[in-house]
Chain A
Amino acid sequence: MADINDRKLRDASISEVLERIRAEEFPHIDREVVRELLRLHADPDDADDLDRAVDDLIFARTGD
């Protein structure tokens, strides 16, 4: 499990922290999904569009 005492993780950026957790605990999740989610929320314009965008992202990764 990702640990804050890990020297590498201590100075990691948000995306590096998330990637480390994904790789160790959720390898079945595509890393691009995490990145896309971060990108979507880094600059949200419209809450409704954001909900739809998140659903679309999940639909796309579950074979729909």
Chain B
Amino acid sequence: MLRLTSLRLTNFGPFKGDQVIDFPEEDGVVIVYGENMRGKTSLLNAIRFAFFGRILGRGRRDAALHKVGNWEEAADNQIYGFEVSLDMTHAGARYRLVRTFKPRPGVTEPEDDGDYVQDYFLERDGIVLGRHQSKIELERILPEQIARFFLFDGELLQEYEDLLIAESDMGPKISEAIERILGMPVLTETRDSLTAAKERAENRHARAAQGDQKTREFGNQLAALQSERGVLQTDLERQEKDLDGLKMRKTALEESMRKMQRVTALFDKRDALVDDIDKLKLRVTEKKERLSGSMSAAWCSLLSERMRAALVEMKARETQLQTALIRTSVLASLSAEGETSCPACLQPVSEDARHRVQESLAQHGGSAGADEERELAAVRRRIAALEQFIGDANPQALRLEWDSISQDEREIYAKGNEIKVIDTQIEDVDEEAVRRIRMDLESAIRQISLLEQGLNKTRESLHQNGVYRDNLQRKLDKFSGSSFDVERKRRDLAADLETLFTKGIDIFREQLRRKVEADATTHFLQLTSEPDYASLQINDSYGLTIVHKDGSEIPVRSAGAEHIVALSLVGALQNNAPLRGPIIIDSPFGRLDATHTDKTVAALPTMAGQVVLLVYEDELAPARARAGLKGQLKSEWKLERRSARHTELKPRKD
């Protein structure tokens, strides 16, 4: 079992100068208390740096190392870089791992990681190992692929939820890491190596067949197929590697998007508002065009009252003129010679009366009706024009159109104001960067889809190739010959061994899943405060679902429950892994209530021999920790502030 015995930091993050934390060489829990920004995450990263030469920033991404050196030393004394020295025991041997990050010779004011050089050395029982041997030993002591089960924080615990999501990108990575810690690679690597050995044997078999005249044709065809197979396999490996890279990229981009969720929601809303305003503006333009058409006659409505009065006047005048003209016409008929009766009443007209009418007409002018006739025509034209204008003017319809335009304009104004509010909320956000992340994510999703299609095609081609090859081999197997008989035997042995290991993998994997499920359930029942929860159920990817005592699955769980389940899994993996080591957790109780915190504290010693907790006091009060752990609490440390850029590691004695 791997056990840390001491960690020495030199100018690592806030740990100015040389600072040391010693860990007891017996099973139990060590607690390091530190408020926010005092250096708890830096301690976790220091251990990560010592083992793997890199540190993690937010979003599980590699962080720049040149920013890790102590700021005060750099500013006051121009001392750049840092060093971490880790003492540990493993498999009966004592190790010291020292890793440094120092400015390159000649660089006085380093600006980025390229201005530094990283180096490390490993001692085993006081003897410095060579570079190659050190690499092998470190890979044996703590492979980076399984570091997540030893060094973690709440963010990492949350990722285990992905094991329950079939289409997640992170899930398969975690499953792979779980199989690695459980020792599956010995089996899978042997199986892969036997697959390769079988193919080499097939190649030799084909070459042997090419050397014999009666099997040459089959041999040639087999060699061609195997050559094609080699190309397809290279393609497949490349595509799988590319897909892996793209999925990692997609996961990182999704993480960035999640962090920017609020900002992206604001950008989305802003985009929708801009879109709405554009549509409203178009609608207003169309309405104004319609209104403009109606407006050519609309001025009439402004004069409609006066026009109606004029129309009444004109119609009255028309009546007067019509009457006058009829009278004139009647008088003219009465005065006409030979006319003996009145054209209006048909009574006989005397000669005397006729003369009087003639005298009156002569006296008042016989053309008295001509002016009235002209005036009547003019009056009638005016009446027609007035009636037309009054008919064209529809003020009610115009008013409705105006109201609708005003409504749209008010909406445009309101949406414009909303955009201004959003703009103030996102003024410090690099809009371009957000859009770039979104575009990159969309691009990654498209590329993944294309690559998956390509992968399927390559797999199909490989399958077809395998079918042709098997057919040819069956034909070839009917022939005998000393050289290819030997190669055939080798091929068959490799194939049988490959099948044996494949079956072994299936059985061993199922066996491990059951053990992990049982142990995770034991831990979970210790940790949970819910008496109705009966067990955890494991899926093919090692994802764990909570099962109610009535047998139903609990479909949704809180972030706190997720942490409890994840801790149960980590504990179960530690129980079943050939490689065991310390659990070092940064702020593990942030999402847990007091009861779950107490239960977790009490259960931690059962999960690993050595546990190091990096906590703040509100998360886990010292009195609570001491009461929960009792004799299992081996030592307590605190991170004391000297300045914003200087923290001291001190044993806690209060």
B507 in contact with A9 (CB, 8 Å): yes
Expressed in whole angstroms, the Cα–Cα distance for A64 and B507 within the complex equals: 33
Residues of A close to B189: CB separation below 8 A = 41, 44
> Could you say which of A12, A34, A51, A62 contacts B193, with CB atoms under 8 Å apart?
A51
A contact residues around B499 at 8 Å (CB): 26
Task: Classify the interface of chain B: helix, strand, loop or mixed.
Answer: helix
Q: Tell which of B244-252, B257-265, B463-471, B486-494 binds the partner.
A: B486-494
Which chain A residue lies CB-closest to B506? Answer: A4
| A18 CA / B508 CA spacing, docked (Å) | 9
Complex CA distance for A17 and B200, rounded to whole angstroms: 27
B155 at interface, CB cutoff 8 A: no
Whole-angstrom distance between the alpha carbons of A59 and B491 in the complex? 10
* Residues A2 and B497 in contact in the complex (CB < 8 Å), given A42-B186, A55-B197: no
- Once A25-B503, A33-B497, A51-B196 are accepted as A-B contacts, the answer to whether A58 and B490 lie under 8 Å apart by CB is yes
Interface contact A14-B193, CB-CB below 8 Å: no
Interface residues of A in 12-31 (CB under 8 A from B): 12, 14, 17-18, 21-22, 25-26, 28-29
Question: How far does the Cβ of A52 sit from chain B's closest Cβ, in whole Å?
Answer: 10
> What 0/1 pattern do residues 493 to 536 of B give for CB contact below 8 A with A?
11011011101100110110010000000000000000000000
Binary flags per residue of A27-49, CB closer than 8 Å to B gives 1, else 0: 01100011001101111110000
A14 neighbours in B (Cβ, 8 Å): 183, 186-187, 504, 508
B489 proximity list for chain A (CB < 8 A): 62-63
Q: Is the CB–CB distance between B486 and A62 below 8 Å?
A: yes
How long is the Cα–Cα vector from A30 to B250 in the complex, in angstroms?
Answer: 47
Tell me if B388 is interfacial: C-beta within 8 Å of chain A.
Answer: no
Do A55 and B503 form a contact, CB below 8 Å, given A12-B511, A37-B497? no
* Chain B residues within 8 Å of A33, by CB: 497
Q: Once the chains bind, are B500 and A64 in contact (CB under 8 Å)? A: no
Chain B residues with CB under 8 A of A26 = 496-497, 499-500
Give CA–CA (A33, B193) in the complex, Å.
14
- Interchain CB contact under 8 A, B186 and A38: yes
Kindly list chain B residues whose C-beta atoms are within 8 Å of the C-beta of A2.
503, 507
B197 and A51 within 8 A (CB)? yes
Q: Judging by beta carbons under 8 Å apart, are A4 and B503 in contact?
A: no
**Known A44-B189, A62-B490: A18·B511 in contact at CB below 8 Å:** no
A5, closest chain B residue (CB): B510
A26 to B492, CA, bound (A): 12
How many residues does chain B have at the interface if contact means C-beta atoms less than 8 Å apart? 30
C-alpha spacing A51/B189, complex, angstroms: 11
In the assembly, what is the distance between CA of A44 and CA of B193, in Å? 11
Cross-chain contact A37 with B194 (CB below 8 angstroms): yes
Q: How far is the CA of A43 from the CA of B201 in the complex (A)?
A: 24
- The yes or no answer to B136 lying at the interface (CB within 8 A) is yes
Q: Tell me the bound Cα distance from A39 to B190 in angstroms.
A: 10
Give the total number of A-B pairs whose CB atoms are below 8 A apart. 87
Decide: A58 and B493 in contact? CB cutoff 8 A.
Answer: yes
Across the interface, B500 reaches (CB within 8 A) one of A4, A12, A29, A45, namely: A29
Of A9, A10, A21, A61, which is in contact with the most chain B CB atoms at under 10 Å from its CB? A21
The dominant DSSP class at the A interface is helix
* A4–B494 CA distance with the chains assembled, in angstroms: 25
**CB closest chain-A residue, reference B187:** A14
Say how far B636's CB is from chain A's closest CB, in angstroms: 39
Decide if A54 touches B193 in the complex (CB within 8 Å).
Answer: yes
> Among residues 174 to 217 in chain B, which have CB atoms less than 8 Å away from a CB atom of chain A?
183, 186-187, 189-190, 193-194, 196-197, 200-201
Q: Which residues of the other chain, B, contact A40 by a CB distance below 8 angstroms?
A: 190
A9, B186: Cα distance in complex, Å: 18
Interface contact A50-B193, CB-CB below 8 Å: yes
Could you say which of A10, A14, A40 has the most chain B C-beta atoms within 10 Å of its C-beta? Answer: A14
> A47 CA to B235 CA in the complex, in Å?
20
Chain A's nearest CB lies how many Å from the CB of B510? 5
Give the CA-CA distance A23 to B531 in the complex, in Å: 46
The answer for the CA separation of A45 and B510 in the assembled complex, in Å, is 29
| With contact pairs A25-B503, A41-B186, A54-B197 given, residues A17 and B508 touching in the complex (Cβ less than 8 Å) | yes
Given A10-B514, A22-B500, A62-B493; A17-B507 close (CB under 8 Å) = yes
CB neighbours of B507 from chain A (8 A): 2-4, 9, 17, 21
B202 to chain A, nearest CB (A): 13
Report Cα–Cα, A21/B191, bound state, in Å: 14
Complex Cα–Cα for A59 and B490 (A):
7
Give every chain A residue within 8 A of B500 (Cβ-Cβ). Answer: 18, 21-22, 25-26, 29, 34
By a CB distance below 8 angstroms, the chain A residues around B140 are: 43
CA distance A58 to B196 in the complex (A): 12
The answer to whether A21 touches B504 (Cβ under 8 A) is yes
A50 to B193, CA, bound (A): 8
A18 to chain B, nearest CB (A): 5
Q: Is the CB of A41 within 8 A of B493?
A: no
* New A-B contacts (20) at CB < 8 Å, excluding given A9-B511, A17-B507, A29-B500: A3-B507, A10-B511, A10-B514, A14-B187, A18-B501, A18-B504, A21-B504, A25-B500, A28-B496, A33-B497, A34-B497, A37-B193, A51-B193, A54-B193, A54-B196, A58-B201, A58-B497, A59-B490, A61-B493, A64-B490
Sampled A-B contacts (15; CB under 8 Å): A2-B503, A4-B511, A11-B511, A14-B186, A18-B500, A21-B503, A26-B497, A37-B193, A40-B190, A41-B186, A41-B193, A45-B136, A58-B197, A62-B490, A64-B486
A-B pairs, top 5 by smallest CB distance, nearest first, are A41-B190, A62-B489, A4-B510, A18-B504, A54-B197
